[in-house]
Amino acid sequence: MEECRPILNTGLRGFSVATSRISDVDGNTGKLIYRGYLVKDLAVSAGFEEIVYLLLYEKLPNKAELQEFKQALSLERPVPPELIAALKTRPGTALTMDILQAGVSLLAHHDPDLSDRSRATALKVATRLIAKLPTLVAAWDRIRNGKEPLEPFPELGHAANFLYMLTGKVPDEETARFFDVGMLLHAEHTFNASTFAAREVASTRAHMYAAVSAAVGSLSGELHGGANVRVMQMLQKIGSVDKIESYIRQELEAGRLIFGLGHAVYKVDDPRARILAPMSQKMGERTGQPQWYEISSQLEKKAKAAFKKYKGIEIFTNVDFYSASLFYNMGIPIDLFSPVFAISRIAGWTAHVLEEQFADAAPKPVLYRPESQYIGEYCGPEECEFTPLDQR
């Protein structure tokens, strides 16, 4: 019998499963790169639509290309009335990510190009998904609150239009810009769990809706997309700056970590967190809720010091630590934080599906088929002998 090699349940950490030209994370220096560009630079000067174009088309658009792409997104925003009617049959208590995952699958039923598997059509489908997901999320929130969904506002940008469809109010320029940057920062992040799910499904040559549905399902898990939900719940539990130290002590004594601190890849602070922090502060001041930023900033400092002093470890701030208070101060319901993550990350998911199915570079992507080590020796080293039901 072949000798079994020791296998560790590592969640594939440290293993490379494919090549990619889309993004890179340098966890040691805190760099996130989209197709060669540092995200910290893109966040200063670019908008979400530019970044989507970059991820899909592998280059930044010129003015004419960007205008054409924005127009394409705007035209694709409406969702079929049959889908809205279906949402109205769902119980208001349904989980938001379950609604979104079901909605993605239903959108496939209305796509006239589903059987066309060319790259050009795949780009059109990607544009449709990126445009329609915000409409779907906003429509569901209004339906579950007894309101009629709003039609998209064609003259508004992608980020501003979502906030309008959600709240019924056109956001001011600064709020729209902050949300735009928040979406930009969540647009892509290499082979995270949901992106891996999308690529694995895409490797079977399933259509893009199937791959994105799988990605949404992966993102619904609390270890992936729900982190900023738990950050905001933590901030609400703490309630005020004077309760931070007792909260940290309680968590340390219980052997728990602080939500929003620590990351599977970054060994320094997440560069996205440093961009989101001042926006969270400004939004808190503008909305009369400065306490959430104040608690966050003091918690970050004191928790880092406490973990170093009492545990001898350094912990670092991740993207969820400040995105939570930023989105909350924009009036976004806490249970929509993960769907907001999805309507941003759809840009990266679709780019990865395109790369998985249409990559020009060698070697060509192949069907994902990892191995496992069977440890079920229920009958010792021999196979079990089947016993008929009436003799058991």
- Cα gap 310→263, rounded to integer Å: 20
- Cα gap 101→383, rounded to integer Å: 41
Nearest-CA neighbor of 211 among 372, 14, 355, 58?
355
Q: What stretches of the chain adopt beta strand conformation (E)?
A: 23-26, 31-34, 37-38, 378-381
Give Rg (Cα) of the chain.
23
Contact (Cβ atoms closer than 8 angstroms) between residue 171 and residue 287? no
In sequence order, what are the residues at sequence separation of 6 or more whose Cβ sits closer than 8 angstroms to the Cβ of residue 281?
290, 293, 297
Contact (Cβ atoms closer than 8 angstroms) between residue 196 and residue 221? no
User: Quick one: tokens of 221?
Assistant: 């898990």
Helix H or strand E segment including 49: helix 48-57
Out of 263, 269, 270, 352, pick the active-site residue: 263
DSSP string, 147-163: -PPPPP-TTS-HHHHHH
Instruction: Indicate if 141 belongs to the active site.
Output: no
- Cα gap 42→54, rounded to integer Å: 11
Q: Which residues pair with 33 in a beta bridge?
A: 24, 38
Contact (Cβ atoms closer than 8 angstroms) between residue 150 and residue 164? yes
- Cα gap 180→174, rounded to integer Å: 10
**Angle (nearest 5°) at CA 55 between 348 and 11:** 35
SS3 for 221-235, per residue? CCCCCCHHHHHHHHH
- Residue 282 has, within 13 A of its CA and on its CB side, a CA count of 10
Instruction: Indicate if 180 belongs to the active site.
Output: no
In sequence order, what are the residues at sequence separation of 6 or more whose Cβ sits closer than 8 angstroms to the Cβ of residue 214?
197, 198, 200, 201
Contacts 24+ apart (CB under 8 A), 203-206: 203/356, 203/365, 203/366, 203/367, 203/368, 204/367, 205/117, 205/357
Out of 141, 180, 269, 320, pick the active-site residue: 320
By annotation, the residues acting in catalysis are 263, 320
